[in-house]
Amino acid sequence: MRQAIAVVRSIASDKRLVLYGLILAGLHVAGILLLYDLLSEFDMIPHFWFGYVLSEYSSTGANSINLQQRLKQKLREVGWLTADLRTTDVIIRLSGFLLIGGLIWESLELFFNPLAGVPADSFFAFPITMSNIDGFLDVTIGLVGASLAFLIRFRTENGKVD
């Protein structure tokens, strides 16, 4: 429980991350109220930003409880000798997005959309076809946002990205 509080505090105390969350909420509300009906492709913008924001939240939260360092040590113990903090950060960012954005969010859409009278976009229906590709695209666009957040962070911190 202490670690969860530390993660929430680390995110809530960062004005930049709070602003990112507010922008995400604003984009989603604007989409619900008007833009999703007028321009269905607008959906890609909040999903991209959701990936970006979750990537930043995951990295900041994990750093607050020293998860990157512990993961680096575990990876080296199992023989991944090249594991460094950069490697562990990208693993945490992508895992954080895929768990929260990919699995939980899309599952909640499947459950709550029908309650609101909106047909659910089934991400978990296979095979993926043109009629059920929306969930897959949502997660893919979010992964692009999460990856871009990682690249920007390391470019600004290290001067360049390999």
Q: Cis omega (within 30 of 0) on the bond before 127?
A: yes
pTM > 0.85: no
Q: What local confidence, expressed as pLDDT, does residue 95 receive?
A: 92
Q: Using one digit for the tens of pLDDT, what is the confidence trace for 64-113?
A: 999 988 998 888 888 877 778 888 999 999 999 988 877 777 777 777 77
R_g of the chain, CA atoms, integer Å: 17
| Calpha distance 135→143 (Å, rounded) | 12
The larger pLDDT score, comparing residue 142 to residue 157, is at 142
* Long-range Cβ contacts of 149-152 (<8 Å, 24+ apart): 149/51, 149/52, 149/53, 149/55, 149/56, 149/59, 149/93, 150/55, 150/59, 150/89, 150/90, 150/93, 150/94
Amino acid type, 41:
E
Tokens (6 digits) for 91: 């693993």
Provide the mean pLDDT of the chain. Answer: 84
> What is the model's pLDDT at position 162?
41
Q: Which residue has the higher pLDDT, 126 or 156?
A: 156
Give the C-alpha separation, 82 to 22, whole Å.
37
Higher pLDDT, 56 or 102: 56
Asked if the model's pLDDT at residue 159 lies above 60, the reply is no
- What is the share, in percent, of the chain residues with pLDDT greater than 70? 88
User: Which is higher by pLDDT, 83 or 57?
Assistant: 57
Q: Is 83 helix (H, G, I), strand (E, B) or coil?
A: coil
